[in-house]
């Protein structure tokens, strides 16, 4: 495992922090989707995003794979998370009594 990098620019620090939050959020969503037996295509999208974010986190931020994959990966991950939230609301929230 590589040592965590310390970004020089505060803007880089912010984007790395956002990626860290996004990575944790998609991992949690993936775990919940698996337990909830969400559709396999949704689970696959969450898993692909989680795996790529994990892999890219290990690489230098200025490496070719990070530069090539990160812009679209953020968009794809947010889309998968939005789809998960919609599915969860439609299939779980209505069935689980609150309060």
DSSP class of 5: P
8 pLDDT above the threshold of 70: no
R_g of the chain, CA atoms, integer Å: 16
DSSP class of 32: H
Question: In whole angstroms, what is the distance from residue 41 CA to residue 22 CA?
Answer: 20
Give per-residue pLDDT as tens, 14-58: 476 788 899 999 999 999 999 999 999 999 999 999 999 999 999
Tokens encoding 63: 């490496």
Q: How confident is the model at residue 9 (pLDDT cuts 50, 70, 90)?
A: very low
DSSP class of 96: S
pTM: 0.79
């Amino acid at each position: 495992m590589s040592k965590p990098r310390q970004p020089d620019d505060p803007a880089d620090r912010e984007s790395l922090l956002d990626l860290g939050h996004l990575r944790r959020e998609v991992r949690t969503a993936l775990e919940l989707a698996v337990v909830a037996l969400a559709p396999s295509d949704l689970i696959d999208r969450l898993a692909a995003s989680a795996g790529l974010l994990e892999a890219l986190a290990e690489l230098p931020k200025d490496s070719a794979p990070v530069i090539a994959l990160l812009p679209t990966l953020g968009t794809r991950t947010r889309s998968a998370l939005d789809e998960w939230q919609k599915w969860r609301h439609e299939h779980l929230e209505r069935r689980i009594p609150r309060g």
